[in-house]
Amino acid sequence: MIGTLATFDAKHQKWEEYCKVLEQFFEANEIDNGDRQRAILISVVGSSTYSLMKNLLSPDKPKDKTYTQLVELLKNHFYPKPSEIVQRYKFDSRNREPNESVMEYVAELRRLVQDCNYGNTLQQRLRDRMVCGINEDRIQRRLLSEADLTFEKALSIAVASETANTNAQEIQNQGATAKCFNMDKKLQEAYAHREPTNECYRCKGTKHEAADCKFKQEKCHACGKMGHSLS
């Protein structure tokens, strides 16, 4: 046998995911016989899940059902089919959230529409909900201007518009940052080369600070102190 199968743990795994692993195991080992598939499922699923299976089937027994019937039995138990009316309401009222990307919004719409049973109108429903719920005037106007708009075309346009807007903002932000940097640099240079404005009390000069005065080591004519004043 290729690969191994673990027991099912409802607390950490979805039943559908577990069944996908089973199907890959069957394919890898070329197990296409329904009786063998059922036997493997019953033997590896684990004691707690087997007990659940047995209780749900009572008075029938798991070994008397097909593999597909056992899979559907537990699927309906773990994930009972939701109300079609409620699911349609959730889908039809779902708008794009702030900071939600177009792809994230569409992924959520695809999830919500699974149990709506829209049949042949599914693609049109997805298109209409995406256009109406996109919550961005610029993209919405672009989509509404398209003739013969399909869901796939609407998705492509919306993603391209979103990407272009993000790229434009990055370019603008980089330009603003460079402009601020250049302004700061000019201010620093101007500050470094500014001329002193304070009057020197030693010589009454106005082109330098007192600490830079060439007479700071000379004796004051008025009081005789060193570096006091020459006037």
Q: Tens of pLDDT along 89-134?
A: 999 999 999 999 999 999 999 999 998 999 999 999 999 999 999 9
**N residues, the chain:** 231
Whether pTM > 0.75 for this model: the answer is no
Peptide bond into 62 cis (omega under 30): no
Whose CA is closest to 159, among 99, 105, 97? Answer: 105
Alpha helices, H only, the chain: 15-28, 34-44, 47-57, 67-78, 84-92, 102-113, 122-133, 137-144, 151-192
Q: What is the pLDDT of residues 53-98, one digit of tens each?
A: 999 999 999 999 999 999 999 999 998 888 899 999 999 999 999 9
